[in-house]
Amino acid sequence: MAQLPGITIGKPNETCAATGEPLAVGDRIVSVLTMTADEGSQRLDAAEPQWDQGWRPDGSIDVIAIWRGSVPEPKRRDDARPVDDEDLVAFFEQLAEPADDQAVELRYVLAWMLVRRRRLRLEGQRRGKLQVRRVTATGAFIDAEPIEVADPGLDEDQLEQAMERVAVLLLGEPETPPPVQVSGDGT
């Protein structure tokens, strides 16, 4: 859900603001972000044909933005981030002084995860070290100087193994498929 100071955009509504009819995945909609003094911001979604036929929100409501789109597929639970960014940052900070090779690998993988999630900004790579800085949601630097993260020099297989270890640490034991049973008669 996108959020600006005092304004929440939210996800599309399930019903058309003009007719009260349900909106289905893929339906073309016109979204209107409104603001009232007592209720704050509110998102209204109207079926595109209703908008094209002249439907508009009540004139007493201030309209902040209007855009066209379509009703998206609902996000599957699997698509949600299972670990909060703040938890990852805290874990990264706990490993500031890695004690062994595995901790160095873990910190390196966490650094790249946080760069991808835009919680760290890559400043450069020098002599086997990444240089990163923590950033706020608005992109402002938190750290005055870059943080150095040792690059353990992992090849592709080692990196994949390190990523699996991170997933196990953060999410718990990996699911293992049930053992294959082989009958004694060769079938």
DSSP string, 59-97: TTSEEEEEEEEEPPPPPPGGGS-SS-HHHHHHHHHHTSS
In the prediction, which pLDDT does 172 show?
Answer: 59
Window from 20-29, 152-161, 173-182 with minimum mean pLDDT: 173-182
Calpha distance 75→15 (Å, rounded): 18
- Asked if 98 contacts 129 with a C-beta cutoff of 8 angstroms, the reply is no
Helix (H) or strand (E) holding 44: strand 40-47
Calpha distance 117→115 (Å, rounded): 5
pLDDT value at 175 more than 60:
no
Calpha distance 44→36 (Å, rounded): 13
pLDDT digits (tens, 9 = 90+) for 90-128: 888 888 887 778 788 888 888 888 888 888 898 888 778
